[in-house]
Amino acid sequence: MAAFEPVLLARIERPESHTLADYESTGGYQTLRRVLGSQSPEEVIDEVKRSGLRGRGGAGFPTGLKWTFLPKERKGPTYFCLNADESEPGTFNNRILMEEDPHQVLEGLILSCYATGTTTAFFYMRYEYPLAWKRIGRAIEECYEAGYLGKNILGSGYDLDVVPHRGAAAYICGEETGLIESLEGKRAWPRIKPPFPAVEGAFRQPTVVNNVETVACVRHICERGADWFRSMGVPPDPDNPRDAGSFGPKLYCLSGHVERPGCFEAPLGLTVRELIDGYGGGVWKGRRAKAAIPGGISMGLLTEDEFDCPLDFNGPGRYGCLGLGTAAVVVLDETVEMVDFLHNSCRFFAHESCGQCTPCREGTAWALRILERIRAGRGRLVDLDILLQIGDSIGIIPGTTICGLADGAAWPIKNAIRKFRDEFESYIRRTNPQGYEESEPVPALDWTTH
């Protein structure tokens, strides 16, 4: 691996890294001071567009382009929603930034709000992050006291208020319109789009939604320039006109069956094998890997033979996965039963489905019931085809749901069964030797005996 100097995680080992005094001692808010004094919002947007920054929350949409979707003529307020509802299993990079370097996040947020002309930002954080909530709250207070927030920031004439808002512990609130509905005090049901949030978002006003790592990158782009950012990562594929490239540093979460789990920073394009062996110290206990989740459980699965997959915005898709997602890699060693993995995945998505769309509500629930029956020794080989039918029939990609939660639920099903079909069939034959060939409907489980 080539030498790389972390920037997003550069300060997290400092004892007082979460305080304003420590942040300012390492040059904190000097970039904000310079930008407010010498650059227009349009110039900041142009620099972010030129950098090729793509959203780090999962979708990978070009950030600067997203900002340009705001209407040119706006009569009312424009809002910024900072998405800190980090709920994708295996993902914890935003938590580390908020707990250990909250002012880096806030400086990036203020710069992003300045660029987009927003005067109110909502910092929407998942409920299960008590230390991050405490430190972000204190950091916001310090910013008001130091003149980095409030009226006439640093004498520039720019006003900005940041309002912390604690979420209600729901995975669906990570979807941008579900977040907005929750912010407004309603059930977090994602909205039909269009209109998109940039046109009609929070409180029916134009709204920008970006995640924590994305705005942290904005701070460094404004400090070091777009050329520095583009010097890292993977350039666009010349044979793919839809490929916008994968530029800049990325925070990779690594967990599961590895010797050294943690959050690591590297340029986009690092392979799964390099992450596991070079950063994670290899698979634990001298065992072999069986599979890995490449970017959060909703992205699907890679087999061990596919670990040379590059972790950029296009890499996992070439191996049959949904995408890079949050770049949260979870390693499964050779002892893991894939039936157990898939049952756990289906249980999560059945619980977290908001229930608004019938294909998702019913599909995730029935997938879970089938997996429960398989694990109880009542599985049939035909159940695998039924599960694949469910996986192929729910989500935005087949056009049956409003948001992408169903796609996230479907990809582990499709990847696990198609890539490990022999193991699933062997499990069913072994646990139901008398009925695995049955094709008729199977009676419901009697949970008084299971």
pLDDT digits (tens, 9 = 90+) for 59-112: 889 999 999 999 998 888 999 999 999 999 999 999 999 999 999 999 999 999
**Partners of residue 302 on adjacent β-strands:** 292
Mean pLDDT of the chain: 95
Q: For the residues 284-305, what does the mean pLDDT come to?
A: 96
164 pLDDT band (50/70/90 cuts)?
very high
Check: CB of residue 335 under 8 Å from CB of residue 288.
Answer: no
Angle at 65 between CA 59 and CA 67, to 5 degrees: 95
pLDDT at residue number 258: 98
With a cut of 60, say whether residue 416 has pLDDT above it.
Answer: yes
In tens, the pLDDT along 131-149 reads 999 999 999 999 999 999 9
Q: Distance (Å, rounded) from C-alpha 372 to C-alpha 450?
A: 10
Percent of the chain with pLDDT over 90: 91
Q: For the residues 171-195, what does the mean pLDDT come to?
A: 95
Residues of the chain with CATH 1.20.1440.230: 338-431
Q: For the residues 351-356, what does the mean pLDDT come to?
A: 96
Residues of the chain with CATH 3.10.20.600: 247-333
Q: Which two three-digit tokens encode residue 411?
A: 């990809």
Residues of the chain with CATH 3.40.50.11540: 20-231
Q: For the residues 375-402, what does the mean pLDDT come to?
A: 95
SS3 164: strand
With a cut of 80, say whether residue 450 has pLDDT above it.
Answer: no
Amino acid at 214: T
Amino acid at 248: G
pLDDT at residue number 1: 46
With a cut of 90, say whether residue 321 has pLDDT above it.
Answer: yes
What is the dotted CATH code of the domain comprising 247-333?
Answer: 3.10.20.600
With a cut of 80, say whether residue 385 has pLDDT above it.
Answer: yes
* Rg (alpha carbons) of the chain, rounded to whole number: 23
With a cut of 80, say whether residue 446 has pLDDT above it.
Answer: no
pLDDT at residue number 447: 59
Question: How buried is 353 (Cβ within 10 angstroms: 0-12 exposed, 13-18 middle, 19+ buried)?
Answer: buried
With a cut of 60, say whether residue 2 has pLDDT above it.
Answer: no
Phi, psi of 438 (to 5 degrees): -60, 140
Task: List CB contacts of 242: < 8 A, sequence separation 6 or more.
Answer: none
Q: For the residues 201-228, what does the mean pLDDT come to?
A: 96
Distance of CA 199 to the CA centre of its chain: 23
Q: Which two three-digit tokens encode residue 141?
A: 């207070």
Q: What is the dihedral angle through the alpha carbons of 109, 114, 116, 121, rounded to the nearest 10 degrees?
A: 50
Q: Distance (Å, rounded) from C-alpha 392 to C-alpha 320?
A: 13
Q: How many CB atoms lie within 10 A of CB 325?
A: 28
Task: List CB contacts of 398: < 8 A, sequence separation 6 or more.
Answer: 392
* CATH class entry, domain 338-431: mainly alpha
CATH 3.40.50.300 fits 20-231, yes or no: no
User: Among 37, 90, 140, which residue's Cα sits nearest to residue 408?
Assistant: 90
Return contacts of 126-132, CB within 8 angstroms, 24+ apart. Answer: 126/84, 126/85, 126/86, 126/87, 126/167, 126/169, 126/173, 127/166, 127/167, 127/168, 127/169, 128/169, 129/84, 129/86, 129/95, 129/98, 129/99, 131/99, 132/84, 132/95, 132/98, 132/99, 132/102
Q: How many CB atoms lie within 10 A of CB 97?
A: 26
**Partners of residue 249 on adjacent β-strands:** 267
Q: For the residues 408-412, what does the mean pLDDT come to?
A: 97
User: Among 166, 162, 174, 328, which residue's Cα sits nearest to residue 253?
Assistant: 328
Q: For the residues 261-290, what does the mean pLDDT come to?
A: 96
With a cut of 80, say whether residue 399 has pLDDT above it.
Answer: yes
170 pLDDT band (50/70/90 cuts)?
very high
Percent of the chain with pLDDT over 70: 98
Q: What is the pTM of this model?
A: 0.94
Check: CB of residue 171 under 8 Å from CB of residue 405.
Answer: yes
Q: Distance (Å, rounded) from C-alpha 122 to C-alpha 311?
A: 30
With a cut of 50, say whether residue 12 has pLDDT above it.
Answer: yes
